[in-house]
Amino acid sequence: MPTVLLRLNGMRGPDDEERVRTALLAEPGVYGAVVSCEDGCAEVDIEDDVVSVDRIIEIIETAGFPAVLAG
């Protein structure tokens, strides 16, 4: 189960963190998510044969925040 690290823009506080985290955890193939407004990032544990990185980015952007792979 790989961990994907993404950079997010525009989060302002705990409510935004929770919105992104909840959206990610609702997706089949996502087993964990840590979202940090302070660091502007999300660490997402995925089953990569079930969900793609592109889908993870789409979920975050649908929640209202631009996202790109870190590094």
What average pLDDT does the segment 37-47 reach?
A: 96
Give one DSSP letter per residue of the chain, joined into a string: --EEEEEE----SHHHHHHHHHHHHTSTTEEEEEEETTTTEEEEEE-TTTS-HHHHHHHHHHTT--EEE--
Q: What angle do CA 20, 26, 32 make, to 5 degrees?
A: 70
Residue 66's pLDDT band (cuts 50, 70, 90): very high
Domains of the chain: 3-69 (3.30.70.100)
The answer to whether the beta carbons of residues 46 and 31 sit under 8 Å apart is yes
User: Is a pLDDT exceeding 90 seen at residue 35?
Assistant: yes
pTM of the model: 0.94
